Amino acid sequence: MTVVTHYDTLKITRDAPPEVIQAVYKALAQKYHPDKNLNNPEAVRMMQMVITSYKTLSDDARRKEHDDWVNKQLPPPPKRALTPQEKAAEEKAATYAEAAAKWNSWAVSTGLEAKAARDKATQAATKAATCPPSEKQKWAALAQQTENDAVEAEKKAAAAAVSAKQSTDEAAKHAVASKDGAVVTLYDTLKILRDAPPEVIAAAARAMGQKFPNDPAVSKAIEHLSDAQKKAAHDAWIREKDPVAGGPRKSTAQEIEARTRAEKASNEAKAKAAMKDGPAWKTWAEKAQKEAEQERARAKIAAQKAADARQRAETAFRELQSSSAAAERDEAMWTSSTNMATD
C-alpha cells in the first residue's frame, strides 16, 4: 500500500527538524512560484501542495495529527539487532565524534587566542615604530615578545584544527551503515528522501550545516550529496545494500495523482455512456478516455525520466570505479619501476 504524505510532497523524512522543513519549503516555493512559471497549471498545483504541506508540518499540533494518521496507514518498519561489526563501528563512530567535538571546541578557543595575540603583536609593532627614541628599545623588545607569542598561538590553533579534521574524518569513516533493519544513508542524515531534487538537497544541507556545524556525519553527507560523482556512487551503494531501493521505483505523488484522475475519468465515462443518453455520453466518454490516456502517457514519461537518471548515475559510478582502478595500476607501475631503478 502506497501512502503519500506531506513529507513526500516536501521530499523530507518524518523526523526532519523545523529548520529543514522551513528551508525546503522556501526552496520549493521559489521553484514553483507563479512568477517563474507563467501559464503552467502544474506549477500552480505543486505550489498549493507545498504550501499545504508546510502549513501542516510547521504546526506542532497539525503535524502530530498527520503523523498519527500516517502511523495508522503504514505497517511498522522491520526491526533487527545490530550485528557485532555494526556495534563495533557504532562505538568507534561515537568515540571519534566525541573527540571531534572536543577538538573542534579547542580549535575555536585557540583560534581566538591566536587572533588576540596577533592583534597585541601588531599594536606593539606599531607603537615601536612611532614611539620616541628614548622608548624605542623597550617597545621593540615588547614587540618581539608579542610576535613570538602570536606565532606560538597560531601554531597551537593550526595543530588543533588538524586534530579536529582527523577525528571528524575517522568518525565519518566508522559511521554505521545500517540500523534496525534499514539501510541508513546520507539522505537520512540530511533528513531528506532519496529522490529529493537538487533544490531540496541544497536547502537541507544549509539548514543541517548551520544546526550541526561540528557533526562529522552531517559534513560527510553535505560533501557527498553536493558532488555529482560522489552522489552517484552513494546511490549505487544504496541499490546494492537495500533491495527495496534497488527494486521498482516508488511512484511519486504526482504520478499517483495522475493515474487516479485518469482511472476516475475513464470509469465515469464508461458509466455515463451506458445510460439512456448513450450517443452524447459516448462522445464525452471518448474525450475523457483521451484525457485519461494523456495522463497515463505523462506518468510513463516521468517514469522513463527517472529510469534514465538512474542509468546516468550508474554510468557515472562505473566511470568513477574505472578511473580509480587506472590510478591504482599507474601507482603499481610507478612503484615497480622505482624498485627496479633502485636495484
> b/e for 157-181, b at 16 or more Cβ within 10 A?
beebbebbbebbebbbebbbebeee
Q: Which residues of the chain have pLDDT under 70?
A: 1-3, 76-86, 171-182, 242-259, 261-262, 265-266, 269-285, 310, 313-343
Residue 138: predicted pLDDT: 84
- A 10 A CB-CB count for 188 gives 17
Please state at what angle helix 84-130 crosses helix 136-173, rounded to 10 degrees.
Answer: 170
Cα 31 from chain centroid (whole Å): 18
* Per-residue pLDDT reduced to its tens digit, 303-313: 777 777 767 76
pLDDT of residue 248: 42
Task: Count how many Cα atoms sit within 13 Å of the Cα of residue 82 in the half-sphere of its side chain.
Answer: 13
Q: What is the pLDDT of residue 330?
A: 56
pTM of this structure: 0.49
Single out the residue of 23, 76, 64 nearest to residue 200, CA to CA.
23
Burial zone of 39 (CB within 10 Å; 0-12 exposed, 13-18 middle, 19+ buried): exposed
pLDDT in tens, 272-309: 656 555 566 566 667 777 777 777 777 778 777 777 77
Beta-carbon contacts of residue 305 (< 8 Å; ≥ 6 apart): none
pLDDT reported for residue 83 = 61
pLDDT at res. 57: 95
**How far is residue 323's CA from residue 107's CA, in Å, rounded to a whole number?**
36
User: What pLDDT is stored for residue 225 in this prediction?
Assistant: 93
* Backbone torsions φ then ψ of 292, nearest 5 degrees: -65, -40
CA distances from 26 to 20, 59, 197, 203 (A): 10, 16, 14, 8
SS3 74: coil
Query: Among all chains, which residue has been given the C-alpha cell 485519461?
Result: 292
Residue 55, pLDDT score: 94
pLDDT at residue 9, rounded to an integer: 92
Rounded Cα–Cα distance for residues 308 and 302 (Å): 10
Burial per residue of 108-139, b for 16 or more beta-carbon CB atoms within 10 angstroms, e otherwise: eebbebbeebbebbeebbebbeeeeeeeeeeb
Report in angstroms the alpha-carbon separations of 181 from 16, 27, 76, 174, 240: 20, 32, 12, 18, 15
* Residue 135, pLDDT score: 84
